[in-house]
């Protein structure tokens, strides 16, 4: 079976749109709030890329997401600035790794499950993205628990919190639940809509080809048979002469003579 090509015009165009969405949603998504809770939509285009283009597209979009998180964090977020000042390599690796996993793992899971149920595969991929993103973030921070503890101690508002409570409740908490809900609801809906649009586009294309073929076949023209000279009404591109069996092409069309017909004895030309 021939492998599906990644660098097709459709994939490149779709990936460009998703890349723009990841940038826009990550840069300006923090302004979308309900009360004090940020509504993060950035994982939705990452999952769509992983599902509709492939795991490589998901990995690329996830890495892009991680790079933007680093750039925004080290310039505006006190927690990320503190982590980066104490452990720059660990902070960068953690942001890139969680983003990569949030795009790659959903794509691999979708490929694994889609043969049984495509819709179930989309749901699993949608669930996997926020779980990977938040889960790897918490695990990575636990590996830097000393640095996290120093950050908690340096803040009066966080004084007395344990590292685990700070990570699970203060950092993840409601944001993870909101991110999880948005991804599980939005990704399958958008995927379904995109499939309907793609199916309609394919039907329209095949319908146009069918209409063109019918129009070609409906064209009739009168031509002289090249073998016997009889006048023949040619329907479509080519017709068989009823007197000698030779192929007669419509004007402007050229076709090679049928070798089977050429081997048959020519019929007698009718007397005038």
SS3 (DSSP) at 236: coil
Where are the extended beta strands (E) located within the chain?
A: 33-34, 37-38, 220-224, 231-235, 238-240, 247-249
Instruction: Say if residues 43 and 176 touch (Cβ distance below 8 Å).
Output: no
Two structure tokens written together for 197: 């649009």
Task: Label the pairing between strands 220-224 and 37-38.
Answer: unpaired
Domains with residue ranges and CATH for the chain:
9-211 (1.10.1760.20), 220-263 (no CATH)
Burial class (CB within 10 angstroms; exposed 0-12, middle 13-18, buried 19+) of 117: exposed
Tens of pLDDT along the chain (272 residues) come to 335 566 788 888 889 999 999 999 888 876 665 544 456 788 999 999 999 889 999 999 999 999 999 998 888 888 889 999 999 999 999 999 999 999 999 999 999 998 898 888 889 999 999 999 999 999 999 999 888 888 888 887 787 888 888 888 878 777 788 888 888 888 888 777 777 766 776 676 665 556 565 555 555 667 777 777 777 777 667 777 776 777 877 665 444 444 444 444 544 444 54
Quick one: pLDDT at residue 194?
A: 73
């Amino acid at each position: 079976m021939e492998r599906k090509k990644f660098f097709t015009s459709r994939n490149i165009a779709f990936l460009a749109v998703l890349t723009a969405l990841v940038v826009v949603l990550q840069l300006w998504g923090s302004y979308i709030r309900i009360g004090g809770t940020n509504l993060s939509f950035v994982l939705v285009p990452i999952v769509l890329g992983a599902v509709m283009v492939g795991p490589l597209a998901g990995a690329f979009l996830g890495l892009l997401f991680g790079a933007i998180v680093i750039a925004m964090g080290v310039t505006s977020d006190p927690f990320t600035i503190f982590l980066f000042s104490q452990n720059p390599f660990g902070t960068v690796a953690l942001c890139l790794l969680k983003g990569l996993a949030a795009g790659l793992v959903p794509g691999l899971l979708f490929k694994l499950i889609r043969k049984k149920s495509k819709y179930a595969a989309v749901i699993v991929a949608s669930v996997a993205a926020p779980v990977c993103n938040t889960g790897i973030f918490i695990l990575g921070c636990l590996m830097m628990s000393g640095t996290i503890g120093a950050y908690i101690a340096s803040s009066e508002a966080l004084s007395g919190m344990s590292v685990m409570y700070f990570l699970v409740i203060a950092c993840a908490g409601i944001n993870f639940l909101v991110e999880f809900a948005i991804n599980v609801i939005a990704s399958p809906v958008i995927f379904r809509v995109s499939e309907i649009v793609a199916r309609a586009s394919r039907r329209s294309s095949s319908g146009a080809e069918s209409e063109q073929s019918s129009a070609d076949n409906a064209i009739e023209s009168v031509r002289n048979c090249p073998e016997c000279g009889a006048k023949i009404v040619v329907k479509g591109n080519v017709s068989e002469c009823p007197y000698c069996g030779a192929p007669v092409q419509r004007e402007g069309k050229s076709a090679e003579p049928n070798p089977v017909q050429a081997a048959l004895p020519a019929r007698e030309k009718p007397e005038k």
